[in-house]
């Protein structure tokens, strides 16, 4: 004979669902919300959470930066991966938008050729990368150049 207590525990067992792993929240435009952190782990978490084709691009950007600047420091701040000379000065960042990934070169006006995207900040230039439109050779050249310049303190 079932008691009221055993009926209640049976009902609870049926309604409980397993706890799903927490996925990062995607902010406006699909940019992953990742907690501020230093090192490779938060950057890899950001890249893994980038939606669709952008995640593959994020992995490629990261690999090219690391190959070009083996001693690069990494962090996630303001929901964007940053790459720099140390944990205080940064030369590059990227951020997801709905239809593209925006790469920020903090000393971009010193690069040759100057990246195409203008900024309201005097030295900053942007590169908007749309699906299937990534010039790796030009990107690597810019990474080499910008990594030799003084970084932006943040």
Q: For residue range 15-62, what is the model confidence (pLDDT) as tens digits?
A: 444 444 466 777 777 788 888 999 999 999 999 999 999 999 999 999
What's 65's domain CATH number? 3.90.1150.200
Count of domains for the chain: 1
How does the average pLDDT of the chain come out, rounded?
87
Is residue 59 domain-resident?
A: yes
Is residue 20 domain-resident?
A: no
Query: What domain range is 56 assigned to?
Result: 26-153
Per DSSP, helices labelled H in 2-154 are: 4-15, 40-49, 53-68, 136-147
Closest CA to 60 of 133, 150, 154, 147: 133
Cα angle 23, 66, 107; round to 5: 95
Q: What are φ and ψ of residue 52, in 5° steps? A: 55, -140
Is residue 144 domain-resident?
A: yes
């Amino acid at each position: 004979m079932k008691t009221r207590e055993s009926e209640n525990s049976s009902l609870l067992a049926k309604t409980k669902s397993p706890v799903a792993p927490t996925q990062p929240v995607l902010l406006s435009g699909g940019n992953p919300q990742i907690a501020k952190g230093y090192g490779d782990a938060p950057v890899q978490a950001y890249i893994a959470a980038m939606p669709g084709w952008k995640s593959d691009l994020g992995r490629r950007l990261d690999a090219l930066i690391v190959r070009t600047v083996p001693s690069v420091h990494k962090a996630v701040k303001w929901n964007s991966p940053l790459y720099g000379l140390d944990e205080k000065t940064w030369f590059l960042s990227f951020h997801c938008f709905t239809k593209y990934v925006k790469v920020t070169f903090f000393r971009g006006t010193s690069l040759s050729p100057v990246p195409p995207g203008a900024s309201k900040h005097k030295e900053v230039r942007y590169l908007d990368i749309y699906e299937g439109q990534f010039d790796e050779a030009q990107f690597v050249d810019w990474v080499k150049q910008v990594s030799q310049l003084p970084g932006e303190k943040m």
